[in-house]
Structure 1
Amino acid sequence: MSSSKGSEEGVRLRAGDAELTVRPDRGCRVSSLTVGGTELLRQGERYGSFPMVPWCGRTDHGRFRDGAVQHQLPVNADPHAIHGTGRDTVWRTRRAPGENEAVFTYELGEPWPYRGLVTQVFALTESSLTLTLAVEADTDSFPAQAGWHPWFLRNIEGRDATIDFAPAWQEERGDDHLPTGRRIDPRPGPWDDCFGMPDGVDATLTWPGLLELRITSPAQWVVVYDEQPEAICVEPQSGPPNGLNTLPRLVTPIDPLETSTTWSWRRL
């Protein structure tokens, strides 16, 4: 059995002993994901798990070029623009009561220079959560990216998580925190780095003796951030940081950008 309900504290979905809370008023972020009453996400307004859209990670000094036109985005991670506008936007809730699926949208606009629509879908089962993002253009085409920034708790019930993944390469990171354009052999952590996984993102977090969480996505890039003691971030995304400039994916009125990620868990 599964159910969903909305409240002033967010939209809640439940499947078996898994419960999810989404806050459309706070950038359509997952504010809580519990399995058997155990919270998996770091708590707080900045945390949980938020969508990165219409760009992921840092954009160089907030500037990107579309053809002959250069655009300037607000700088919010000196000196760059980081993580898109979706996480700072109030989304509109579109969902079917009584189901374990929720759908949310927001309209692209200032400070993003193009019109369009972003849709995020959540589908919860007893053992998995699938998130889907779609970016649609209105009339003008534009480059865009989409992905997620989950803050998974490093320590749960006294157990520190380990991460297992096998990227094909690591994007060399410059002193400005942007990829240099060189692909290097993956290096040991701690990381605030982007990795290439051309067969799709596949990473596993394990809290020994407690829980295993597998993060998969057809996306070919993942940022891993584990420099803070409280959390480990595993961020599937449709392109690398600064990708609006280095690897633009054009969204057109007939060709939207769509991506997804699935988190699957099992008890140990």
Structure 2
Amino acid sequence: MQTRLTAGDAEVTIDPENGCRLAGLRIGGTELLRQGAKYGSFPMAPWCGRTAHGEFRNGGDKHQLPLNSPPHAIHGTVRDGAWRTAAVDERSASFTCELGDPWPYAGRVTQVFELTEDALTLRMGVEAADVSFPAQAGWHPWFLRVLDGPQGASEPVRLDFTAAWQEERGDDHLPTGRRIEPLPGPWDDCFGMPDGVSVTLTWPERLELTVSSRAEWVVIYDEQEAAVCVEPQSGPPNGLNTHPRLVTPIDPLEIEATFAWRRL
């Protein structure tokens, strides 16, 4: 059963049975997220984006993940299963998901949603049960390129952000390890923002929404006609191998992001 949060004319729908994704984000009756079982906005953990050939190491142990986007493994495992509802009230909800096969380590992912009249805050934590492991976490929202609703169709969304660098993308869609000056879109690319992620989406004369996070990486994907993705995450694609963040039983990985909006 889906969970619904409301604050003023803002409404959030969460689907814990389908990867605990945001199934809907409506402002004044207008849906902002692409609809469909694969879309909305889903959590990425215990890794984000592509992991090269599905392989990573934890110390001397080498692991193989399923190649769900051949030749790579993509977007983690927690978006694929059911989560347990921990707590719900009118404006907030929390959920948990146990890590396990095909992820080789035991642990838990917790996700918290908090809604106000002008913002949605997302929090996620990745905990190790006993054995430490490298991990990443983030979110993959599919924002509609054109809004529809009581006012009719909007103009296409515009993206505005200032990045310190762009991770150079190789032919295999993985970062090469070189940091380059940000290039114009279209993008399926990772950008570095050492002072924290801040990306503004503007639907002219309708709505402005800013995605912000203390995380330093964001992937921008705008190669599809229906939607654009602004994905704050704790590390770059293939980060299990190139930028590992070790999660231990006493040191979880925690990440937070906010979607804040105003009418134009």
Question: Is the structural similarity TM-score above 0.5?
Answer: yes
Confirm whether residue 111 of structure 1 aligns to residue 102 of structure 2.
yes
Q: How many aligned residue pairs are there?
A: 259
Spell out structure 1 runs of 4+ moving beyond 2 A.
none
Structure 1 residues without counterparts, runs of 5 or longer = 1-7
Partner of 2:150: none
Confirm whether residue 41 of structure 1 aligns to residue 33 of structure 2.
yes
Aligned residue type for 2:30: T
One of 167, 171, 175 as aligned partner of 1:175: 171
Aligned mates of 2:124, 2:5 — CA distance in 1: 18
Aligned residue type for 1:76: N
Q: Cα distance, 1:159 vs. partner?
A: 1.2
Aligned mates of 2:79, 2:178 — CA distance in 1: 30
Aligned residue type for 1:42: R
The SS at the match of 2:251 is coil
Partner of 1:246: 242
Aligned residue type for 2:91: N
Confirm whether residue 220 of structure 1 aligns to residue 246 of structure 2.
no
Q: Percent identity?
A: 69
Partner of 1:14: 6
The SS at the match of 2:17 is helix
Aligned mates of 1:236, 1:96 — CA distance in 2: 25
Partner of 2:225: 229
The SS at the match of 1:245 is helix
Q: Cα distance, 1:218 vs. partner?
A: 0.4
Structure 2 residues without counterparts, runs of 5 or longer = 148-152
The SS at the match of 1:227 is coil
Partner of 1:31: 23
Q: For residues 62-85 of structure 1, what are the alpha-carbon distances to aligned partners after superposition, in whole Å with 9 as ceiling and x for unaligned?
A: 000111110000000010000000
Confirm whether residue 261 of structure 1 aligns to residue 257 of structure 2.
yes
* Contact 2:154-2:203 within 8 A present in 1 as well: no
Aligned mates of 1:110, 1:76 — CA distance in 2: 14
Q: Cα distance, 1:51 vs. partner?
A: 0.2
* Contact 2:154-2:204 within 8 A present in 1 as well: no
Q: For residues 68-109 of structure 1, what are the alpha-carbon distances to aligned partners after superposition, in whole Å with 9 as ceiling and x for unaligned?
A: 110000000010000000100100011134x31100001101
Q: CA RMSD in A?
A: 0.6
Normalising to structure 1: TM-score of the pair? Answer: 0.96
Normalising to structure 2: TM-score of the pair? Answer: 0.97
Confirm whether residue 137 of structure 1 aligns to residue 128 of structure 2.
yes
Q: For residues 116-149 of structure 1, what are the alpha-carbon distances to aligned partners after superposition, in whole Å with 9 as ceiling and x for unaligned?
A: 1100000000000000000011110000000000
Q: For residues 164-196 of structure 1, what are the alpha-carbon distances to aligned partners after superposition, in whole Å with 9 as ceiling and x for unaligned?
A: 000000000000000000000000000000000
